[in-house]
Amino acid sequence: MADELLVYGSYGYTGALVARTAVEEGLSPVLAGRTAEKVERQATDLGLDHRVFSLQHPEVVESQVEEFAAVLNCAGPFSKTAEPLYSACLNAGTDYLDITGEIDVLEAIAGREEEAEATGVTLLPAVGFDVVPTDCLAAYLHEQLPSATRLSLAIDGLGTFSPGTAKSIVEGLSTPGAVRQDGRIRSVPAAWKTRHLDFGRGRKPAVSIPWGDISSAYYTTGIPNVETFATVPEYAATLMAKTRSLAPVLGTKPVQKALKAVADAVVSGPTPEERAQSVSRIWGEVTDDEGSRVTARMRTPDTYDVTAQTAVESARRVAEGEVGPGFHTPASAFGADYVLEFDGVEREDASQRSAVGTSVGE
Ligand SMILES: NC(=O)c1ccc[n+]([C@@H]2O[C@H](COP(=O)([O-])OP(=O)(O)OC[C@H]3O[C@@H](n4cnc5c(N)ncnc54)[C@H](OP(=O)(O)O)[C@@H]3O)[C@@H](O)[C@H]2O)c1
């Protein structure tokens, strides 16, 4: 796969992990981004070709993506970068993937389904940690209980953040939470619900967060009610609920700019040593209207390492034509067991306590 895959935003914290992983997997993607010096240096280090272009002019973006089989977008926040790239891909006949977890972005891409079918283009967003493991767990739970009408997913141990993730969180500070109810996405107050969930090591408080699965899990499973949670220390849950009234202030342009500058200055992303020690745990539950309930858990390595692995493998499969045209989620494209193909990922059926795939060794 010489010139078949373009990685945009390849020199950001996550993009750099993706580019390195691609090379380790024997691929030769072309690297791209808007800052010439950064992309040139990276391409020289990795011995890869590169392109320099910003996303401001649609005709430029289209002419840059048309020679490739697929584009993997690692430049975020995706609220700024996804639309110019996937619109160009739809016009050029190039497949599009990204590592977004932003609900609005996922919904906008899902809205281009018909166009993608008509132009023969594959749209496969969210191929990072957010949402590959949770999407696969949602698909697995739905297979166990096809009559399910409610899905809850929760994450324990999001680890430390890279600058880009910190900036996406800053953008999220001013936006309310979100749930899916009766098939529609609805705004709810930030941290509106707390549940005490067992990720395999006793119960922990988890507050509702607007994770990408609020969008994607519906397309994967058809389950019309979806809630997503993340664990936080008890004091943080209280603080989040108390600071809801600050949301309008946090959303103003000067405050957003200042907070993003802070993120750039103080957040450098986890070191390889920190990543090697970091583990994430995922819990999922489906229920139906008759009162049946199935729960399952998953354990994964560090979120950034998972992202690099799943993004590269998903892009390889799409570039090689393994996924048909139209809008897909990771599990609708590759199945509920896809995530179990990656080193260190384990799933356990918590309802029956019987291990599936490799066992969860506590
Ligand atoms: N799905 C997941 O699980 C997952 C995992 C990790 C990260 N992420 C997301 O991925 C994104 C990147 O994270 P990161 O840690 O790599 O951030 P980062 O280190 O700050 O890198 C951001 C990259 O995006 C580029 N970029 C930003 N805005 C751009 C724009 N308007 N036009 C063109 N390029 C732009 C930057 O280029 P310049 O330096 O030239 O500005 C840089 O290459 C974030 O949104 C993060 O939340 C998702």
User: What's the gap in Å between 14 CA and the centre of ligand 1?
Assistant: 7
Q: φ and ψ at 168, to 5 degrees?
A: -65, -35
Q: Looking at residue 30, what is its pLDDT?
A: 98
Confidence of residue 307 (pLDDT cuts 50, 70, 90): very high
Question: Is residue 77 over pLDDT 70?
Answer: yes
Q: Which residues lie closer than 8 Å to 100 by C-beta, 6 or more apart?
A: 73, 76, 78, 82, 106, 125, 126, 130, 212
Residue 146 CB coordination number (10 Å): 11
Residue nearest to atom 11 of ligand 1 (CA): 76
Does residue 130 line the site of ligand 1, with CB under 6 A? yes
Tokens at 5, concatenated: 């895959």
Does residue 8 line the site of ligand 1, with CB under 6 A? no
Nearest atom in ligand 1 to the alpha carbon of residue 75 is 24
Q: Which residues lie closer than 8 Å to 164 by C-beta, 6 or more apart?
A: 12, 13, 14, 76, 77
Confidence of residue 194 (pLDDT cuts 50, 70, 90): confident
* Rounded average pLDDT over 83-109: 97
Does residue 129 line the site of ligand 1, with CB under 6 A? yes
Q: Looking at residue 359, what is its pLDDT?
A: 29
154's enclosing H/E stretch is: strand 150-156
Q: Where are the beta strands (DSSP E) in 252-352?
A: 279-287, 293-301, 326-327, 346-349
Q: What is the C-alpha separation between 236 and 244, in angstroms, rounded?
A: 12
Q: Looking at residue 162, what is its pLDDT?
A: 67
Does residue 329 line the site of ligand 1, with CB under 6 A? no
Does residue 177 line the site of ligand 1, with CB under 6 A? no
| Domains, in order of start, for the chain | 5-128+305-334 (3.40.50.720), 132-303+340-356 (3.30.360.10)
User: What's the gap in Å between 27 CA and the centre of ligand 1?
Assistant: 21
Burial string for 263-280 (b: 16+ CB within 10 Å, else e) reads: beeebebbeeeebeebeb
Residues in the chain, how many? 362
User: What's the gap in Å between 87 CA and the centre of ligand 1?
Assistant: 19
Q: Looking at residue 2, what is its pLDDT?
A: 39
pLDDT tens, position by position, 264-302: 555 567 888 888 888 899 999 999 999 999 999 999 999
User: What's the gap in Å between 176 CA and the centre of ligand 1?
Assistant: 22
Residue nearest to atom 10 of ligand 1 (CA): 76
Question: Is residue 261 over pLDDT 70?
Answer: no
Does residue 163 line the site of ligand 1, with CB under 6 A? yes
Does residue 15 line the site of ligand 1, with CB under 6 A? yes
